[in-house]
Amino acid sequence: MKTCPRCGAAADQERCPSCGQDLPKGRRPGKWISFVVLGLLLAVFFGAPQLAAQWDDPDEIIASLEEAVLTGDAERAATLMTAEEADVTDSSAAAFVRLMQEDEEHREEMLQELRSQAALMKAEAEVPEPETYALEEQDGWLGGYEVVLPSLFFYMDGAFSGLEIETADERYEPGSNVHEQYGPLHPGMYEATLTYDGPYAHVNESEDLLVKPADPLIVEIDPGAGPLRIEESLEHMSLTINGEEAEVPAGEAYQLGALSYDGSIEVSGEIDVPGGTAAAAPVTVRSSQPIQLPLEEFSPELEEQLLAKTVRFMQNVNEAEVTNDPDTLTHVTGSLRDSFEFQIRYMRSAGYKKDIPVSTITVDQESLLMEEGEDGWEASVSYQLLREEHWYRHGEKTEEVENRFTGRLHFVHEEEDDVWLASYLSQHSSTSFRPEDPLVIEETYDWSDELDFPEE
């Protein structure tokens, strides 16, 4: 139905029946729609190849990727890249751009690798297997090229059981296995959040995960906490952390964790030893480096026993040298007795004898050290021996001297008889003085079992 533009009367004919006005002819909407669709199809057919022509040259895709990296356009970079084992997401493209912006050397290596491939492609030569980044010709009638990112698998250094690591696309919960492998990820500098809550550490940190081609690829993180190993740990030692008993497995090396490395954690230990107890002084944890817990504090009864044995050993040495009789040495190992017996036999064969009218023995109460060796418990004590010596040869007095001996006397514990035996001397030095002239005149015998005395 039409409306007359002159009188407004309704009409369904080409002339108004009321006033005779000629009416306009109607258009068919369908024809206009057909023309629009046809025009779009023609534009696509003729324009798309010209639009894609820029991607027919591999150098153009490389130049476009370089520009996207330098301008920080991660969205554009994502359209130029692909990967085989993981999709290129907005966040991974952003991490890639960030890496290439911050690591100029790696960026140039990537571009050079891609340009070398492009030159071979344009020369229609064989392209060898790329080391990392690759150019790939796209299938389809539009053609063109894409940059293929490597999909990288990596190990994580600094992670520990219970730590959570979260990026925009991934979430990692590392276990205690340091050989566990993660991935795949594309090269990039990823922003991650590290979280952990435990009795001795709290972590809530932002960390950058640097992922770039390497063999092996190890991603380092620093959560400021983690497990801690105690070197040369003692089986059955009870450990304390900040004064509270810690439950840890016994073995060759204790593994504690996770502990904070900010200096707020102290580790110490105590253990039963032959004749008493021994304790390690507290050690403050400030890094992931393994710590040592040497035994430095001992129960009074153990300390008194070993100090008294040191004094008694020195007294027996005096008696053995005066009498030329090694049988006066008691509670010593066979090797130490053999050393003294060899020395005394040499003195006898040369006709020497000595008298020791004055002797002063001093032991350092703070010097006691103890550790568990391969063959059992060992201990040592510092000593100082001052004595006046009168020397005789073939019955005639030859000299009077004063000797000062210093060093450490070492003990081993014989488990079968439950007794500490003197075993050897270390850091041993001796100096002789004439009473009337306190100047050094000679070095005297070293009683260690390492001496090689002449045969009789």
Domain final residue, candidates 280, 297, 314:
297
- For the chain, percent of residues with pLDDT exceeding 70: 81
Q: Do 290 and 387 fall within a single domain?
A: no
95-109, 226-240, 401-415, range with the lowest pLDDT: 226-240
* Helix H or strand E segment including 190: strand 188-198
Query: Alpha-carbon torsion 342, 343, 344, 346, what sign?
Result: positive
Mean pLDDT of all residues in 167-180: 87
- Which residues neighbour 118 within 8 Å (Cβ) at sequence distance 6 or greater? 58, 59, 62, 135
Print the domain residue range for 61. 53-144
Cβ contact 427:364 at 8 Å: no
Q: Burial, 249: exposed, middle or buried (Cβ in 10 Å; 0-12, 13-18, 19+)?
A: exposed
Cβ contact 241:247 at 8 Å: no
Q: Do 258 and 325 fall within a single domain?
A: no
13-17, 263-267, 440-444, range with the lowest pLDDT: 440-444
- pLDDT (tens digit per residue) in 317-367: 999 988 888 888 889 999 888 888 888 888 888 888 889 998 999 998 889
- pLDDT (tens digit per residue) in 444-453: 444 444 434 3
Q: Do 319 and 287 fall within a single domain?
A: no
Give the Cα-Cα-Cα angle 27, 31, 36 (nearest 5 degrees).
125
Assigned domain for 11 exists? no
**pLDDT value, residue 133:** 96
Q: Please choose, from the candidates 246, 251, 215, the residue with its C-alpha nearest in 3D space to the C-alpha of residue 234.
A: 251
Domain final residue, candidates 144, 174, 189:
144
The most confident of 38-47, 158-167, 426-435, by mean pLDDT: 158-167
Mean pLDDT of all residues in 71-94: 93
Assigned domain for 32 exists? no
Mean residue pLDDT of the chain comes to 83
Q: Do 307 and 176 fall within a single domain?
A: no
pLDDT at 39 over 60: no
Q: Do 172 and 87 fall within a single domain?
A: no
Assigned domain for 307 exists? yes
Overall pTM > 0.75: no
pLDDT at 143 over 80: no
Assigned domain for 41 exists? no
**pLDDT value, residue 232:** 63
Mean pLDDT of all residues in 366-385: 91
**pLDDT value, residue 168:** 93
pLDDT at 52 over 60: no
What total of structural domains would you count in the chain?
4
Q: Do 105 and 79 fall within a single domain?
A: yes
**pLDDT value, residue 455:** 44
3-state class of 301 per DSSP? helix
Here the tokens at position 125 are 């030569």
Assigned domain for 62 exists? yes
Q: Do 400 and 427 fall within a single domain?
A: yes
Assigned domain for 26 exists? no
**pLDDT value, residue 446:** 43
Q: Do 191 and 261 fall within a single domain?
A: no
* Helix H or strand E segment including 315: helix 300-323
| Bigger pLDDT: 339 vs 303 | 303
pLDDT at 178 over 80: no
Q: Do 371 and 408 fall within a single domain?
A: yes
Domain final residue, candidates 297, 321, 339:
297
Here the tokens at position 348 are 């006898």
Q: Do 254 and 332 fall within a single domain?
A: no
pLDDT at 123 over 60: yes
CATH label of the domain that carries residue 379? 3.10.450
Q: Do 431 and 310 fall within a single domain?
A: yes
**pLDDT value, residue 8:** 66
Assigned domain for 351 exists? yes
Instruction: Give dist(CA 424, CA 410) in Å, integer.
Output: 5
258 cis-preceded (ω within 30 degrees of 0): yes
Assigned domain for 35 exists? no
Mean pLDDT of all residues in 60-76: 96
Instruction: Give dist(CA 186, CA 98) in Å, integer.
Output: 12
Q: Do 175 and 116 fall within a single domain?
A: no
- pLDDT (tens digit per residue) in 272-300: 999 999 999 899 999 988 888 888 899 99
Helix axis angle, 90-102 relative to 58-71, nearest 10°? 80
43-52, 209-218, 223-232, 431-440, range with the lowest pLDDT: 43-52
Q: What is the CA radius of gyration of the chain?
A: 45
Q: Please choose, from the candidates 332, 270, 333, the residue with its C-alpha nearest in 3D space to the C-alpha of residue 302.
A: 270
Q: How confident is the model at residue 441 (pLDDT cuts 50, 70, 90)?
A: very low
